[in-house]
Structures are given as C-alpha cells and as structure tokens.
Amino acid sequence: MGRLPFNMPYAVDMFIRGALRLVGHSELANPDDMEVLAWLLYFVVSLLFVGGLVWLGNWVIRGYVSRHSHAATD
C-alpha cells in the first residue's frame, strides 16, 4: 500500500503529543502512529463540523416550516 506524503502542522503535532501525554500513552508518539492519529483527528473534526451544519440546517428549516404552516392555517 502506498503512502501519501503528509506534513503535519506544528500545532496539530503538539496537540496530539500533549493529548497522548495527558492520557498516558506517550508510546504512540512515533511517526507512523502520529500520522494515523492526525488523520483520525481531522476525520473527527470534520464529522463534528458537518454534523453541526446539518443540525443547524435542520433547525432553520423546521423553524421556517413551522412558521409558514401556522400562517397558512390561520
């Protein structure tokens, strides 16, 4: 399996290393594991961001439909 080149930003590297130290798993701070952990971090952040956008869109649409359905029945 080929590997993609991945230059991790310094802030992400330090965040992951700090989190690993905090939970007591500093042994995972090697280059191979750090790359996978960075991809996992990006995936989780993306899921939370997209989930928040979907929730916000649903909330806006429900409010719009609720207001307009009451106006149509009055």
Domain span holding position 42: 10-73
In total, how many domains does the chain have?
1
Residue 2 lies in a domain: no
pLDDT at residue 12 in the model:
92
- Tally the residues of the chain: 74
Look up residue 65 and give its amino acid: V
CA distances from 37 to 3, 4, 20, 70 (A): 15, 15, 10, 49
Residue 1 lies in a domain: no
Q: What pLDDT does 1 receive?
A: 47
Residues 67-74: contacts with CB under 8 Å, at least 24 apart: none
Cβ atoms of residues 12 and 41 within 8 Å: yes
* Domain presence at residue 43: yes
5 lies in a domain? no
The tens place of each residue's pLDDT in the chain, 74 residues long, gives 455 556 889 999 999 999 999 999 999 988 888 989 999 999 999 999 999 999 999 999 999 998 888 666 65
